[in-house]
Every structure is written in C-alpha cells, then in structure tokens.
C-alpha cells in the first residue's frame, strides 16, 4: 500500500507565480515530513521539513504546510523560478522506524 501519495505526476507554472505541490498520507503515526528536490542524474536534495507539532514552516521562497486532520502536506514555492524545475518528492517518517516513506514524485516545470 502506498502510505505517501503524490497524485499529480506533473505541474506547469509560469515564472513568478506560485507553485503548489501536494502530498497525502495515510499513516497517522508519521511525525516528521520532508520535501526533496531532484534534478536528472543527481540524488535528491533536501529542501524543507516540518514536524507534526507544527502546521507551517518557512524557508525563503519555500513554505511547507501540514494539515494533520486531513493528513495532507503541501509545498508552496513563491515566486517560482525556472531553476525550480525538477522532480519534487515528499517523504514521511514514524519515530522509531528508522526509515522514510517517499511519494512517487511530482515533476514541476516552471515556464519562463
């Protein structure tokens, strides 16, 4: 079963506009969530994270929102830049399990 789901395989956004990437999860025991960005031929790069005790975390142009009741996570990128074009993965972990569960990824294309 897919415990972490990214239902949009791709997303296109105009440069300067907001990009919103979504992630849903099913395991209510997850307590830490992360977003990674991946360029072709490179490993995923950590972007931003959030603990389950928070509902928002901001780092520059990137903000992650967590809605625990809906089991929903989103990443907002404002303003979007062409260099943001990549595949974005959300991941979740449960304390004591020593592993991350990743979604299938969303390919973001920012159009100049």
Partner 1 sequence: KAGVTQTPRYLIKTRGQQVTLSCSPISGHRSVSWYQQTPGQGLQFLFEYFSETQRNKGNFPGRFSGRQFSNSRSEMNVSTLELGDSALYLCASSHSGLAAPLAKNIQYFGAGTRLSVL
Nearer CB in complex with partner 1: 16/39: 39
Q: Is 60 in the site for partner 1 (CB under 8 A)?
A: no
State residue 69 phi and psi, 5-degree precision: -65, -35
Per-residue tokens: 102: 């990743």
Helices (H) and strands (E) counted in the chain, each on its own, are 0, 11
Nearer CB in complex with partner 1: 21/44: 44
State residue 84 phi and psi, 5-degree precision: -80, -10
Q: Is 103 in the site for partner 1 (CB under 8 A)?
A: yes
| Residues within the interface to partner 1 (CB under 8 A) | 6, 32, 34, 36, 41-46, 49, 51, 89, 91, 93, 95-105
């Amino acid at each position: 079963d897919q415990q972490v789901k990214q239902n949009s395989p791709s997303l296109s956004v105009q440069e300067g506009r907001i990009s919103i990437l979504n992630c849903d999860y099913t395991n209510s025991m997850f307590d830490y969530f992360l977003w990674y960005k991946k360029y072709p031929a490179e490993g995923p790069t950590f972007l931003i994270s959030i603990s389950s005790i928070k509902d928002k975390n901001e780092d520059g142009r990137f903000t992650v929102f967590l809605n625990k009741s809906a089991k929903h996570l989103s990443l907002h990128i404002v303003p979007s830049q062409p260099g943001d074009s990549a595949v974005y993965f959300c991941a979740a972990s449960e304390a004591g399990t020593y592993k991350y569960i990743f979604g299938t990824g969303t390919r973001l294309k920012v159009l100049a």
